[in-house]
Structure 1
Amino acid sequence: MMKVEGFDNSLIFSFIEFMKSKGATLEYNNKKHQLDFLIKKEVIIIIRLPLDFELDFEKLKSKEADFKNYVLIMIRSGIASVGFFENFECHQHKVFRAYMTRKKQGKSQIKHLKTKGKSRAGSRIRLQETLEFFDQINERLQEHFDEFRIDKIGISCSETLIPYFYGGKIKTPFDKQDPRIFKIPKHIQNPTFEELIATNKFLLQAEIRISESGALIYQDFMKEIKLKNSSLEENNDDW
């Protein structure tokens, strides 16, 4: 179990140099856009990098952040939101809703079909709305991909709904193995417009995960940063 907390974006390279001085090796996970820090082949600390952070992993130096466009796709049973972000700012968005949940049981029609699958009028309506729901999402995505260059594709969607997302009448403008795809590392309960904006803000902020064996090393780093800051403050006071 790892402790999770926010991490100051400006400290990323200081932390890389600190960990290298402690004998740690680094591995970059492109799919998750994160750095894994290992000691004796054990991952002790992970930093999820901000979406606007470019890394030359071979030289472990920052690269000038390129103009980046991306879409965030968040889907839950009966509600979804799709946002197009131009250079990290929300440029277009749309929220989709559908009558997919059986009122008494609170179960989506897809899950119901996997168990009992009764063919009643209400069930047929819910299933039809489910199919249209995903077609509308993919139609919107097609528009974005036709009009703009898309560099990244962030997705939050339950495993139950994934086959419907990729298997609709209107296809996604990318396949499951597209290297631009990354899984949004955050649980999205209700993908409203407000949650879309909050998720983008979350993705632009670094996050650190610390194992028990990495806790003391991380504490040493933070002490070192505090000492440096104190020294800078004293020098400024002298002026």
Structure 2
Amino acid sequence: MQQQSLNLFHIPFKEIFTRIKEEMPTYEYDYGKHIIKLKDDNHEVIGFLRLPLHLVIDDSLKIIDDDNLVLYLSIESGNAAIVVMEGKQMIYHTTFSAYMTRKKQGFSQIKYLKKKGKSRAGSRVRLAETIEFFENINTTLTTLFEDYDIARIALSCNTTLIPYLHQSKVPCPFEKKDDRLYKIPLHIPQSNFTNLEATVKKLMAPVLFYIEEHEGAFKGFTHKS
């Protein structure tokens, strides 16, 4: 089954939700993934609407707020970026870098130590950089969480790096299973400001995803009333 997508940036949110209520047999809002699951008469999911994080709704699709405060965090070996958005306005951004990758092999010091367990001088330098890298990230995060009332945390981070974020000497200001966490559903080629900003812009628009064979059920979304 092939999945299709449709950007609904041109349709006001209230109109989108009205169409869902009128045209879809059943629907269900998923807070964690911040999507509305769209179901057929048999309660089978035939599509979903991905919502921008700055928009807050309840289970009945009532708009609570459209100016949510969201922190976007992208981390990879040696690079990280943070962007804070208030609604559609960027109010903060910064980046981090560290010498964590072995140049010849091209993989991170963390993965290298797990495979080889080496402790040569170069490895120790990279490990020290790794520790400082996550301490710097958490120091900045702590300040941001103190200064702003962060409503959602959008994260893009390899699973091998998550423990280093949460086991740093400088505590991470949110838990691994924080209710506010949102896994960024787009691939970020490199964790720098340019790529994270581009990702945030893409996530600003509501996007409809549906199974091609059920395209007829979504005709109402292809034009503006």
| TM-score with structure 2 setting the length | 0.90
Q: What is the percent sequence identity of the aligned residues?
A: 39
How far apart, in 1, do the equivalents of 2:101 and 2:184 lie? 24
How far apart, in 2, do the equivalents of 1:95 and 1:12 lie? 32
SS in 2 for 1:200: helix
1:86-123: CA deviation from partner (whole Å, max 9, x where unpaired): 34322222110111111111111111112112121111
How far apart, in 1, do the equivalents of 2:62 and 2:68 lie? 19
Q: Give the AA of the match of 1:53.
A: L
Q: Give the AA of the match of 2:72.
A: L
Q: Give the AA of the match of 2:142.
A: Q
How far apart, in 2, do the equivalents of 1:184 and 1:64 lie? 21
Aligned length, in residue pairs:
223
Asked if residue 37 in structure 1 is aligned to residue 24 in structure 2, the reply is no
Q: 1:9 to 1:56 in 2, by over 3 A?
A: farther
Q: Give the AA of the match of 1:203.
A: L
Structure 2 stretches of 5 or more lacking a match?
Answer: none
Answer yes or no: is the 8 Å Cα contact 1:9–1:206 preserved in 2: no
Could you say which structure has the higher helix fraction? 1
Quote the residue 1:159 is aligned against.
Answer: 159
Answer yes or no: is the 8 Å Cα contact 2:76–2:157 preserved in 1: yes
- List, as ranges, runs of 4+ consecutive aligned residues in structure 1 with deviation greater than 3 Å: 11-23
Asked if residue 203 in structure 1 is aligned to residue 195 in structure 2, the reply is no
Per-residue deviation at 1:46?
0.6
Q: 1:144 to 1:18 in 2, by over 3 A?
A: closer
Answer yes or no: is the 8 Å Cα contact 2:8–2:205 preserved in 1: yes
5 Å-filtered alignment, 1:34-113, equals: 34-39=35-40, 40-58=42-60, 60-65=61-66, 67-113=67-113
How far apart, in 2, do the equivalents of 1:100 and 1:199 lie? 24
RMSD between aligned alpha carbons? 2.0
Kindly name which structure, 1 or 2, has the bigger radius of gyration based on alpha carbons: 1
Answer yes or no: is the 8 Å Cα contact 1:134–1:168 preserved in 2: yes
Quote the residue 1:182 is aligned against.
Answer: 182
Q: Give the AA of the match of 2:33.
A: K
How far apart, in 2, do the equivalents of 1:19 and 1:69 lie? 26
Answer yes or no: is the 8 Å Cα contact 1:141–1:173 preserved in 2: yes
Q: 1:193 to 1:24 in 2, by over 3 A?
A: same
How far apart, in 2, do the equivalents of 1:192 and 1:82 lie? 9
| TM-score with structure 1 setting the length | 0.85
Quote the residue 1:221 is aligned against.
Answer: 220
SS in 1 for 2:11: helix
